[in-house]
Structure 1
Amino acid sequence: MTAVDVAGPAAPAWRGGFGRLWTAAVVSRVGDALRATALPLLAVHLTDEPLVIAAVTACGYVPWLLFGLLGGAVADRVDQRRAMWAVDLVRGLLVAAFAFAVALDRASVPLLLLLAFSLTTLQTLFDNASTALLPSLVDREALGSANARLLTGQQIAGGLLAGPFVPLLLAAGAGMPFAADSATYLVAAALVASLRIRPPERVPRPAGSTLRSEIGAGLHALWADRPLRAVCVSTLLCNVGMGALIATLVLHVTRWLHAGSTGYAAVMTAYAAGSIAGGLAAQRLARRTGRVRALLLAGTVQTASLVVAGTVRHLAALAAALLLLGAMGMVWNVHQVTLMQRRSPAPMVGRISAAFRTASVSGAPLGALLGGAAAHACGLNAPALLAAALFALAVTALIPARRRDVSDGAPEDGVTARRAAH
């Protein structure tokens, strides 16, 4: 299959729906980053029991495993715009109540765990509804650019803008980061509620249809589509590898490289900067190669970066490797989401999105366990090499999506490939 150069993909119009959705996503991500930083600090203040502190992190994963597929099925049944603003309104009120409890020094470990679990449970509906809503706001040919702008904006907001505010907010009171997070949820809810879009036409559900049968239909549709199936399996393998790397990265930097906390901050900054650069370049790369080839290239570069990270014992090499890892990771995310949105039947976008997200989340904790075991058994650089092996498997799993009889995108996408003769 030969890639076709085109004039370039259309960009989404900032006026109207997409601009408000982008602003809501960026504002909400700032609040998420504030809470993500403050929550572990509060947990350490409340208890010094490692298992309890780890449970706070686990609450960010478990609801996806329990309710992720259900959230996708519900997102396909309801008005996604209403679901999103209602969820953000509830989350804003929950976090506001928690901020009030912290300010009164009434916070407790059970309350903290309940908050983390509740917010992630609600997120399973919000994220799947958001993915399904975007094609209603922008033209199909602009989906790639829209995803790139959304993900890049969120990375800048969460990775760069929110961090400096955490110490200032904490200085004003332990509950202030949570109060600020609550405010971002309420602002995002108002922005999403103000969207004026025509609800997509829905095919009437067969008599007796249940959520369970609809989830099964969505999973079947995902598995029946060769490119989507390959991308989903590849994404799962990548997330197992990333879980192994991230869980042990602090040990890799501080003990294997002896670079200390300054070195750790440097490599994390490099990763964030790479992610932003990747978001800016994602569409340009896909225009030259096609979306599936962009995924193959991203996975290949990430594999090489991880090999460097696991074999070259120098901080500069690790920083360069993580910069490339972040850049190609953003390229992967943009085109994985766009392919999923474009190839999924419209009534099933939420369910197929849920399958992708659930697979992604399940890979991270598994990878963390494997990374810890590898570091213990084979050395502190072993998780990076384990991640490289998993990324190589991911690239291999993606190859079937490049068969000569499979297109990586619809012709109107502006980033496509010419279907070869059978």
Structure 2
Amino acid sequence: MSVLKGKKILLGISGGIAAYKTASLVRLFIKSGAEVKVVMTPASKDFITPLTLSTLSKNPVFSDFYQEEDENPIWNNHVDLALWADLFIIAPATANTLSKMANGNCDNLLLAVYLSAKCPVYFAPAMDLDMYKHPTTIANFHKLQLFGNQMIPAEKGELASGLSGEGRMAEPETILDFLEKDWQDKLPLKGKKILITAGPTYEAIDPVRFIGNHSSGKMGYAIANKAFEWGAQVILISGPTHLQVNYPEIEVHRVTTASEMLESCKDNFESVDIIIAAAAVADYKPKVVSEQKIKKSDLEIDIVLEKTTDILAYMGAHKKKQFLVGFALETENEFQNALQKIEKKNLDLIVLNSLNDTGSGFGTSTNKVTLITKSFEKEERPLQSKEAVAEDILNKIIQNYEV
């Protein structure tokens, strides 16, 4: 799977013969799972048509601040385009466009987008060999890299002038490899191995009935998917749920009972760096499980319950280098209960949420949490999607994780 999957890529095309290669580049980005939008300089349309790129990217192509031929022109907002992108690559980047980028000139839409960009910016130069080696061009390369832009060096080969040498734009496959490696190297959880528990556990009463809870597993699965996207090796131990992970590379262990989840945690505990216990594990189970279905009768039935092993407490007692995160779903005295849980179970971070908050808790697609560290520093987060909550949790772990 490409690390560019799900990324929003803005491709800027300036007016050089290498613009013809951008059709293949767009196709590679789409194949990697990215979403692509294209912004062109007016001159670049002499080398490749907006229709081609629009068809391949499945998005409108932008080249002017507004369409002059329209009776009711709509402004192409350069700021919106810049903020939309996760990464912006200018390819080909001609000597003219590079000079304008380096010196803050802004006479077309592509340059306005560049000056508004907050995401990582890459540029792939393309020009004749003497232009590529000229002192002003080299100075512009250095200046742009000092600004934080990433250069994808040109290759040697046959040039449009008929000469052969350095200046040929990197091939689309080379550009894709460069971007993937650069993003892979920068992933915040690269090299970390994370164990995540998710979902409910079910404790049998008889072959038909069980004791369980309303956990859907959505929060744990969202964390697992996001941790993988951020470069981690992920082991997900999941109780009964219909959910599936987004990435086949995530190692999933499906269990039913609290004892099965405990054993799976024990099997993987020693090898991981971070543990996020998002599962809603049953605190009690029937002491005796009937081998046959209990028949309905007019009599009351007494079911004797016994405690299950506290998985989070076990991991807190046995952890060495691991960073341990627990969850607390409370209905009263939320903050005090969470603080007690941090101390009692030797946690590094706890995620507190309350059933009193609308849109929070089991079964919803949103959550409202408070993140509390082992030093009792708390950060309240607003109601947001569980995917956004997953990012907040992982960011808090990164801030507090000590290698």
More helix by share: 1
Q: What TM-score, normalized by structure 1, do the two folds share? A: 0.20
Q: Choose between structure 1 and 2 for higher RCO, CA contacts under 8 A separated by at least 6 residues.
A: 1
